[in-house]
Amino acid sequence: MAMFWYAAATTAALFCIIHFFRRRLCCRYPLFTDYPFLGMLPQVLCNLWRIHDFSVEVLKSHGGTGEFTGPWFTNMNYLVTSDPLNVHHVLSKNFNNYVKGPEFREIFQAFGDGIFTSDAEAWKYNRDIFHSLFKHRSFEVFLETTIRKKLQNSLLPMLDYLHQQGNVVDLQDVFNRFTFDNICSIVLGYDPNCLSVDFPEVEIEKAFNQAEESIIYRHTMPKRLWKLQKWLQIGHEKKMTESCKTFDQFIHALIASRSEALRKYNNNETGEACADLLTTLMREGKEQHDARFLRDAVFNLFVAGRDTITSALTWFFWLVATNPLVEAKILEEINEIFGSNEKTPDDLSVEELKKLVYLHGAICETLRLFPPIPFERKQAVEADMLPSGHGVNPRAMLIFSLYAMGRFEEIWGEDCMEFKPERWISKKGGNVYVPSYKFIAFNAGPRTCLGKDLSFIQMKIVATAILRNFHIQVVEGCVAWPSLSIVLLMKDGLKVKITKRET
């Protein structure tokens, strides 16, 4: 018996040694120390609280690209890069070889089969539908009208109230509520009125936030572990299940209500000049779009049109508030555009907003330093070779750190850590074009964000109205730290005091 156990132990040890050296041979460009059994996961877990800045440090020390291997037998292996040539190759030049893949859809389960998680024909179908909706002039007018109405009736009055009270407020929470009300109105035709002076807790908003937070943990845990937690309904997986249930009940109730209304009015007699996106999808899709398709479309639109705008506005106002010279230049430009015009900032037309070149540069600079979606994930279909010289095996996982790309001297120069809107302005006074594979806040290639132009319109409308009317001062001790989420929000919010700007 002793000989049996000795032989078994020897065989196991030999197997581990062989597996260890096999991993070393396969992983030619390791980002960290590859520990036996645990792989490189310990370094990630130790730095999880600062994972975005940690990724910058690690990628810089490895020339922009390297390999991460997880615990043994978990298949938790990634090629991580921030090289713009690699990004251009994967997202544009060899687009068909890189997909989201089934594992991505498992991790992003809450997104269903929407545009962010689908591939091939399903993705093309989703994209064609949304492209048709977003490019329609009537929708652009509807979106602008909705935002301006919420701005005039809720956001500006609330900021004025907060100024009068002299209270410290979390501006990120304000923007969260503002964008949540907007996206509900735009997508669902329903305003939950989250943005009010009593700051009500809205269950659906809380559920939506929790689902997103849980997704990031699936990226840092071995698949078998988070699936076990899902089966046992413990930890973040329990929260994920509960939040998705809450969101789904909310959406399906609205779908049923809208379906009944459309039947009542025979699909075409609602009398509305322009309907919300859900109504439009139900009208045009008819029998093609079942409840599941509509639910997935709504969830994906929520992520695209709510959290990303919240993130961009929060970081923009933090950067502007902490860079008074930039704030002064933006205000000077706004006043120049107005001149003797009696219009208020929230009445500016789209054409007038396009004249705000410096403001556009400040927004781009914000998105460069703090991209709302800090990383992108792809899976290779067939073997490939990246421009950096790194080989890609079939089914290999790639992760792009968009956050790191905005902080590389090789891409943006030695002043890359500075908030410098001037880098986006040409000598002739126009905005500088930067290829999407370098400035990747809106993705690149065929999957470039359809709502890019609409996003700039929204941010400019809000920025001009707030900056012309109010001065935002960050309170002492407020630390702007990226949260651990799939969307780059501030971990503890943006605490500010608001004062009325003298006219």
CATH of the domain at 428: 1.10.630.10
Is residue 164, in this structure, part of any structural domain at all? yes
**Which pLDDT belongs to residue 2?**
53
Is residue 157, in this structure, part of any structural domain at all? yes
Give the C-alpha separation, 188 to 202, whole Å: 16
Give the C-alpha separation, 208 to 111, whole Å: 11
Host domain of residue 414:
94-199+310-371+406-500
> Which residue type, as a one-letter code, is found at position 172?
Q
Is residue 6, in this structure, part of any structural domain at all? no
**Which pLDDT belongs to residue 288?**
67
Residues tagged in the binding site annotation: 449
**Which pLDDT belongs to residue 233?**
92
In degrees rounded to 5, what are phi and psi of residue 433?
-85, 130
Q: Which two tokens stand for residue 68?
A: 């991460």
**Which pLDDT belongs to residue 73?**
65
Is residue 456, in this structure, part of any structural domain at all? yes
Q: Which two tokens stand for residue 312?
A: 């961009």
Model confidence pTM above 0.95: no
Is residue 99, in this structure, part of any structural domain at all? yes
CA atoms within 13 A on the CB side of 80: 29
Which residues in the chain land under pLDDT 70? 1-35, 37, 72-74, 265-274, 285-288, 339-348, 503
Sort strands 77-81 and 397-401 into parallel, antiparallel or unpaired.
parallel
Q: Can you state the angle between helices 277-285 and 291-302, rounded to 10 degrees? A: 150
Give the C-alpha separation, 452 to 441, whole Å: 9
Residues listed for the chain: 503
pLDDT one-digit tens code per residue, 378-410: 999 999 999 999 999 999 999 999 999 999 999
Residues tagged in the binding site annotation for heme: 449
Give the C-alpha separation, 329 to 115, whole Å: 39
Beta bridge partners of 35: 39
Residues 191-227: b if buried by 16+ CB within 10 A, e if exposed:
bbebbeeeeeebebbebbbbbbbbbbbbbbbbeebbe
CA-based radius of gyration for the chain: 24
Nearest CA among 180, 143, 163 for reference residue 466: 163
Distance from chain centroid for Cα 180: 14
**Which pLDDT belongs to residue 479?**
87
Domain total of the chain: 1
- Using CB atoms within 10 Å of the CB of residue 406, give its burial: 0 to 12 exposed, 13 to 18 middle, 19+ buried: buried
**Which pLDDT belongs to residue 37?**
67
Is residue 44, in this structure, part of any structural domain at all? no
Give the C-alpha separation, 438 to 367, whole Å: 12
- Are 364 and 412 a contacting pair, CB within 8 Å? no
Beta bridge partners of 376: 400
Is residue 481, in this structure, part of any structural domain at all? yes
pLDDT one-digit tens code per residue, 241-261: 998 888 888 888 888 887 877
**Which pLDDT belongs to residue 171?**
95
Is residue 208, in this structure, part of any structural domain at all? no
Torsion of Cα atoms, 32 then 378 then 210 then 278, to 10°: 170
